[in-house]
Amino acid sequence: MRIDPALCALRSDPAPQRLAQARIEQAKQAWQGGPLVAGVAAGLKLYSGGEHLNDCGELAALFAKQARGPEYVSKLMDHFLVALAEEPLGQMPFRHDFREGYSTLVLATEGSATLSLHCSVPEANTAASPASSVRFSSGERHEVAIAGRADIRLIERKLRTMTPASMTERVVQTEAGDVLALDSDLQATIIDKIYGRLLRLRLVRAPSDPAPSQQYLIETGELIHQAAGDQGESRQELMLALLGRMKRADAAPIMAEMTNEGGDHLRWQAQRECLALDAASGFAALSKMAENTGDSLATPACALRAQLLETYPALEALNQETAPCPA
């Protein structure tokens, strides 16, 4: 394997690498110190605190009709292209991601608000047929196209609670300077075709109590996947699954407690894992859930209890201590 001499030099002496990164950090500080970028940072703090975007100064200007988004990104390029030309092995000091022709650079975060740069290339849309499903998640999203052109499907659903979902769609063409504002809970986009590279500046704000994200088949409106909208609950679900796979029966009492609070998705996961680890604790928690008429999970809990009693008659002894499901 050939190793470039420049990389060999960095491996033999870490000092040049530190100097290169210091040069990149200087570029970041210079960019952040400009009046526009500093104003956007101040606006992002207001926005993350719940202010309407129109009241967030320079941040709002990025996504206004005469958007300053291209100017904001141009200033980023002015600083970093020079720095990277001088230090080509320096690392961009932003969280970033790249996969299948789609890349993301996170420029700023404040609380639940994130400002990021997204680049899509035609290779990301080479599928033989158009996307067959769409995902909705809680929050709001604002975008401005910085460069490129694309055909985008805007898909809207009427109500979050409707199953199957009732959705409408229309195709819009976006090009440099176009802005888009979405209620992500009811609106989503799918890129059908890209002409060249599509570069977009995106602002996203998640609510303090996000609802689960939901994915539907576009043709039928059938719900095919749902995931917790809260990262904390997602972590708890993963921990529940891990404890279940480890067969940690000592965790069953904690799981039973977790069926009483939190989002429905997390509570149901706790219920399932508790039943698998300790039938008595799990069945008692399930019965409590089924008998509470005000619980949003009462109906599925009642159905599961009836199914378990039919499949495992031995549970009848436990069922004698519980009340029947409400009519």
Q: What percent of the chain has pLDDT over 90?
A: 61
Asked whether the predicted pLDDT for residue 45 surpasses 90, the reply is yes
pLDDT at 15: 77
Query: Do 58 and 68 meet the contact criterion of CB atoms below 8 Å apart?
Result: yes
Of residues 130 and 312, more confidence is placed in 312
- Span of 50-54, 220-224, 318-322 with lowest mean pLDDT: 318-322
User: 3-state DSSP call for residue 19?
Assistant: helix
Helix or strand (DSSP H, E) at 107: strand 102-110
User: 3-state DSSP call for residue 225?
Assistant: strand
State how far the Cα of 224 lies from the Cα of 169, in Å rounded to an integer: 19
- 124: confidence class by pLDDT, cuts 50, 70, 90: low
Which residues are within 8 A (CB) of 201 and not within 5 positions of it... i.e. 6 or more apart? Answer: 62, 69, 72, 73, 115, 116, 117, 118, 143, 144, 146
